[in-house]
Chains A and B, each alone.
Chain A
Amino acid sequence: MSDIYLDNNATTKVDPLVVDAMLPFFTEQFGNPSSIHKFADGVAKALKKARQQVQELIGAEHDSEIIFTSCGTESDSTAILSAIKAQPNKKEIITTTVEHPAILSLCEYLEKEGYTIHRLPVDRCGRLNLDAYQKMLSDQVAIVSVMWANNETGTIFPVVEMAEMAHAAGVMFHTDAVQAVGKIPMMLQDTKIDMLSISGHKLHAPKGIGVLYLRRGTRFRPLLRGGHQERGRRAGTENTASIVGLGKACELALEYMEYENIQVKAMRDRLERGIVEQIPHCFITGDLNNRLPNTTDIAFEYIEGEAILMLLNKAGIAASSGSACTSGSLEPSHVMRAMDIPYTAAHGTIRFSFSRYNTMHEVEEVLKVMPGIVATLRKLSPYWDGNGPVANPEQAFQPTYA
């Protein structure tokens, strides 16, 4: 059996058609798109085509609203720093407790610089309270940044509605959509979203390429100043091959959108149903009714995620975990903590994230090994006794803090 890759929210395999599209731009059409000679001839045209392919996938009104960047993180930083530089008198930012570190770390840094950061909490299912959000909106807020879909649980936030609310209050709205683009249909021209971040490697383009969607008319201050590339909004010679690759990947994502939402979702559903039916004391985290079609995040109680991953890896299966140990930090994932998942479960969360390359056969293979892996580790757990958790696990085992 060949290895099974179920970590597509971390990164994806580059589609072979994307690689084919990119190759000529390394060795034949390697010219600088700004140059006037035949080595650069096709490059400017190829960039324009890629811009339109991205535009089509996200339903932007103009192709000039697409700014190519180096990654999702750069797009996020550009968006937030632009908003505060363009509106120096506004000293507040609204975000959520479950954003990606690309947003949270930047906000923590800005907090030290004197900004007030409002972090919207989530409930146990990972959902936001829009009344609380409404109360935070004011003319003091420079920007709202809320992810479209959560990378760990796949939970989708109502960003279209939240952008309307921000717009009504005269506040800019940014969404980190790196997990959502290509997995759920979007038509940005019908929304009030001002800025949106895309990361190429999450949708079968290579790493090192991203996009910031910038609605026409949104006040903007570049992060990188220099040459006239990207209409002066992101200086630096274009990563031409990767831009072409991202364009192709967007075209393919649009083609596979239905497949993603029917077949990929069916694999995800089969896996999580199978696991929950076969394995006691595990549960799916996040908003079950409102999730990305490819993601499931399952908490296996009384055992630890890194140990599960090591056994999965031995069985040739790649997934990821929200446990502290996989990140080298002392706390389990901030997303699990924000949802108030108990520690005995939060450390045992495993995220399986699918792509169009997975098969139902692979799902069955995972279902064959998963119960054994969980049972093996539970045998070692001080919270487990024979066939079930010990009575009152939190009381039965109370280690001294060490």
Chain B
Amino acid sequence: MWDYSEKVKDHFFNPKNAGAVAGANAIGEVGSISCGDALRLTLKVNEATGVIEDAGFQTFGCGSAIASSSVLTEIIKGMTLDDALKVSNQDIANELDGLPPEKMHCSVMGREALQAAVANYRGEEWQDDHEEGALICKCFAIDAVMIEEMVWANKLRTVEDVTNFTKAGGGCAACHEDIEGILERVLKERGETFDPNAAPIEAVVMEKKPLTNLQRIKKIEEVLESLRPQLMADGGDVELVEVVDNTAYVNMTGACSGCQMAAMTIAGIQQRLMEVLGEFIRVIPASQMHKVAVAAGG
């Protein structure tokens, strides 16, 4: 059995706000029945104030999916839609006193249901920008899709590269065989051969005086600002969400969101940032933020 916190168990055994809200005017349905987790979130929003007056959930899923849904409804009741949209999956997980890495996707599903419901209320179309694959690195909760995207986007060649760019494989190392499997497959598609003894990508030489985080953030903003016209010409945009050490989390919005080229674009941004800042910078979609946050916490 999973090592669930008492709060997860409590929300599972005594779920709050189960069932559909009568007279709901915002409905979000997300999840994947093939993966065994799906959630319908129904909200009653006060049209004058924009406050969520009532929230209900219906969930097909495991204990932590039900607990995440339940706690989400508790968090957002009484919030305005704008405030509710600021609730991250990490907030949901924190409220539950944490979730096992394999179960973090349950909190992501909660956040996405919320976004979908708000989009539904506002008459917008919500698009999922988050794809999930089989969990490879259990220490840092990194899945196969993320690793594969990073290998493609950054032309990674070795397990060490993958660890440097995604953190995957940086813990107990038990997943190195699986990471090699991904490298073998992607490199083959790229017309290369995986060589376990290849030298890893050289880290960009650090400046003598490392940047302070504030300097780093300012510079990153400057670079993003300079790239913005290009992105907007293609109908997209980029937003800096958070900077933790040398990792920048960005949201690709507009046409960039869900675009096939998003990973390539992110790689381009990363390249530009490293050139300008003169240090190693990792750019990661904000949708992956929870996974790294788990690592930081664990």
Contact indicator per residue, chain A 371-402, by CB within 8 Å of chain B (1) or not (0)? 00000000111110000000000000111111
Q: For residue A329, which residues in chain B have a CB less than 8 angstroms away from its CB? A: 134-135
Q: For residue A330, which residues in chain B have a CB less than 8 angstroms away from its CB? A: 34-36, 132-135
Bound CA span A355–B207, Å: 68
A332 in contact (CB, < 8 A):
yes
Of the candidate stretches B10-18, B260-268, B290-298, the one touching chain A is: B10-18
Closest residue of A by beta carbon distance from B125: A400
- Is the interface on chain B under 10, 10 to 19, 20 to 34, or 35 or more residues? 35 or more
Closest residue of B by beta carbon distance from A321: B62
Question: Is A347 within 8 A of B109, CB to CB?
Answer: no
Question: Is A304 within 8 A of B65, CB to CB?
Answer: yes
B39 in contact (CB, < 8 A):
yes
User: Known: A328-B102, A380-B18, A402-B31. Contact between A306 and B62, CB under 8 A?
Assistant: yes
Q: For residue B65, which residues in chain A have a CB less than 8 angstroms away from its CB? A: 304, 325
Bound CA span A344–B38, Å: 11
Bound CA span A289–B251, Å: 56
Q: Which of B2-47 contact A (CB under 8 A)?
A: 9, 12-13, 15, 18-19, 29-40
- Of the residues A309, A343, A397, contact of B34 by C-beta under 8 Å: A343
Q: Which of A277-315 contact B (CB under 8 A)?
A: 302-307, 309-311, 313-314
Bound CA span A249–B35, Å: 40
User: Known: A306-B62, A325-B61, A397-B38. Contact between A382 and B32, CB under 8 A?
Assistant: no
Closest residue of A by beta carbon distance from B35: A330
- Of the residues B9, B30, B63, contact of A306 by C-beta under 8 Å: B63
Question: Is A400 within 8 A of B30, CB to CB?
Answer: yes
Bound CA span A380–B103, Å: 19
User: Known: A304-B61, A313-B1. Contact between A324 and B126, CB under 8 A?
Assistant: no
Contact indicator per residue, chain B 120-133, by CB within 8 Å of chain A (1) or not (0)? 00000010101011
Question: Is B36 within 8 A of A304, CB to CB?
Answer: yes
B108 in contact (CB, < 8 A):
yes
Minimum CB–CB distance from B148 to chain A (whole Å) comes to 15
Closest residue of A by beta carbon distance from B135: A328
Question: Is A380 within 8 A of B59, CB to CB?
Answer: yes
- Of the residues B38, B63, B133, contact of A399 by C-beta under 8 Å: B38
Contact indicator per residue, chain B 279-293, by CB within 8 Å of chain A (1) or not (0)? 000000000000000
Q: Which of A307, A332, A380, A399 has its CB near the most chain B CB atoms (within 10 A)?
A: A399
Question: Is A304 within 8 A of B62, CB to CB?
Answer: yes
User: Known: A307-B63, A380-B58. Contact between A399 and B39, CB under 8 A?
Assistant: yes
Q: Which of A125-158 contact B (CB under 8 A)?
A: none
Bound CA span A36–B9, Å: 58
B66 in contact (CB, < 8 A):
yes
Bound CA span A332–B62, Å: 12
Bound CA span A310–B4, Å: 11
Q: Chain B's interface: helix, strand, loop or mixed, by majority?
A: mixed
Question: Is A343 within 8 A of B36, CB to CB?
Answer: yes
Contact indicator per residue, chain B 61-90, by CB within 8 Å of chain A (1) or not (0)? 111111000000000000000000000000
Question: Is B109 within 8 A of A402, CB to CB?
Answer: yes
Contact indicator per residue, chain B 168-187, by CB within 8 Å of chain A (1) or not (0)? 00000000000000000000
Closest residue of B by beta carbon distance from A343: B33
Bound CA span A313–B9, Å: 12
Closest residue of B by beta carbon distance from A347: B36
Q: Which of B15, B36, B109 has its CB near the most chain A CB atoms (within 10 A)?
A: B36
B118 in contact (CB, < 8 A):
no
Q: For residue B34, which residues in chain A have a CB less than 8 angstroms away from its CB? A: 330-332, 343
Q: For residue B32, which residues in chain A have a CB less than 8 angstroms away from its CB? A: 399, 401-402
Question: Is B132 within 8 A of A400, CB to CB?
Answer: no
Question: Is B39 within 8 A of A382, CB to CB?
Answer: yes
Bound CA span A169–B292, Å: 55
B93 in contact (CB, < 8 A):
no
- Of the residues A313, A325, A381, A402, contact of B62 by C-beta under 8 Å: A325
Question: Is A402 within 8 A of B18, CB to CB?
Answer: no
Q: For residue B250, which residues in chain A have a CB less than 8 angstroms away from its CB? A: none
Q: Which of A310, A328, A344 has its CB near the most chain B CB atoms (within 10 A)?
A: A310
Bound CA span A110–B207, Å: 48
B112 in contact (CB, < 8 A):
yes
Contact indicator per residue, chain A 312-324, by CB within 8 Å of chain B (1) or not (0)? 0110000000011
- Of the residues A314, A325, A382, contact of B40 by C-beta under 8 Å: A382
Closest residue of B by beta carbon distance from A324: B36
Q: For residue A381, which residues in chain B have a CB less than 8 angstroms away from its CB? A: 58-60
Bound CA span A146–B136, Å: 29
B116 in contact (CB, < 8 A):
yes
Bound CA span A314–B31, Å: 27
Bound CA span A225–B15, Å: 57
Q: For residue B64, which residues in chain A have a CB less than 8 angstroms away from its CB? A: 325
Bound CA span A380–B64, Å: 13
Question: Is B66 within 8 A of A380, CB to CB?
Answer: yes
Closest residue of A by beta carbon distance from B57: A380
Minimum CB–CB distance from A334 to chain B (whole Å) comes to 13
User: Known: A382-B29, A398-B29. Contact between A325 and B18, CB under 8 A?
Assistant: no
CB pairs A–B below 8 angstroms (22 shown): A303-B60, A307-B61, A307-B66, A310-B9, A310-B12, A323-B36, A323-B62, A325-B61, A329-B134, A332-B34, A347-B33, A380-B19, A380-B58, A381-B59, A397-B38, A399-B39, A400-B30, A400-B126, A401-B30, A401-B128, A402-B109, A402-B132
Residues of B participating in the A interface, judged by any CB pair closer than 8 Å: 1, 9, 12-13, 15, 18-19, 29-40, 57-66, 102-103, 108-109, 112-113, 116, 126, 128, 130, 132-135
Query: Which 9 pairs of residues, A with B, have the shortest CB-CB distance?
Result: A325-B62, A306-B62, A382-B58, A347-B36, A402-B30, A399-B31, A382-B40, A328-B102, A399-B29
Known contacts A305-B62, A401-B32; can you find 4 more A-B pairs with CB under 8 A? A343-B33, A344-B33, A344-B60, A380-B59
Residues of A participating in the B interface, judged by any CB pair closer than 8 Å: 302-307, 309-311, 313-314, 323-326, 328-332, 343-344, 347, 379-383, 397-402
